[in-house]
Amino acid sequence: MSEANGHDCLEQVIDGVVELGDDQPKVSVGDIQKKIGQRSFGPFLFVPAIIEISPVGGIPGVPSMLALIVALFAFQLLLGRHYFWMPRFLAHRSVSGDKLEKGLNKIRPVVRWLDKVSNKRLGWATNNSFLRFIAVLCIVLATSVPPMELLPFASTAPFAAIGLFGLGITTQDGAAIVLGLILAVGAFVLAGMGLIG
C-alpha cells in the first residue's frame, strides 16, 4: 500500500481490516500486519490508533496491546528499517472479528472525512529527518498508555495524536502532523495529571 495513494488511501486500509473481521471469527495482529503490508509506516500508526479510538478500544487490555505495537514499529522506524518485524507472541494476539468489524464500521465516516480533507502540504513535517522525531514521540506516547488505561477513555488522547501522525505520513499532510503535535502536548498533560493524582 503506497503512503501517498490519494484521498481514498486510508479508507482502503480500513476496508481491508474490516474484511478480515467479516471473514473470520478471530483476527490476529499478524493478520492485520499482512493485510496492511510490510513497508507502510503511516498505516501502521493509523490503524492501531483508529482501532483504539473505536469501540474496540474499550476492551480491557486492548489499548496496552496496541500501544506496544505502536512502540515496536516506531522503534524500528527510528532504526531505519524498511520492513517491519513483529514477535510471534504479539502477532498471535487476537480480537473478535465481529467486534473489530462493527467497531471500525462505526468510525468509518471519520476516516472517509479525513481522506477528503487531507492534502500534501507542509513538506518539512513529512521529511525523513522529522519522521525520526515523530518516531521518538510515538514511543513516548505509547509508554503513557498503560497507566492511562485505568481511566475510561484517557488513552484516547495519545492515540488520537498517533493517529494524526499516521494520517500525515500516509497522505503526506504536514498539517495533520502539526495537529498531532498539539494533541501530543495535551496527552502529556493528561498523563502528568494522572501521575500526580
Residue with cell 481491508: 16
The secondary structure element, H or E, covering residue 94 is strand 94-96
Share of the chain above pLDDT 70, in %: 89
Q: What was the pLDDT predicted at 49?
A: 92
**Residue 173, C-beta contacts closer than 8 angstroms, at least 6 positions apart:** 118, 119, 120, 121, 122, 126, 167
Round to whole Å and give the CA distance between 5 and 7.
Answer: 7
Statement: residue 6 has pLDDT above 70: no
The pLDDT assigned to 3 comes to 40
Alpha carbon distance 56, 174 (integer Å): 28
85 or 176, which is more confident: 176
Q: What is the pLDDT of residues 162-196, one digit of tens each?
A: 999 999 998 899 999 999 999 888 777 766 665 44
Q: What is the mean pLDDT of residues 44-56?
A: 89
| Res 11: pLDDT | 83
The rounded mean pLDDT for the chain is 84
Cell readout for 101 is 468489524
SS3 28: strand
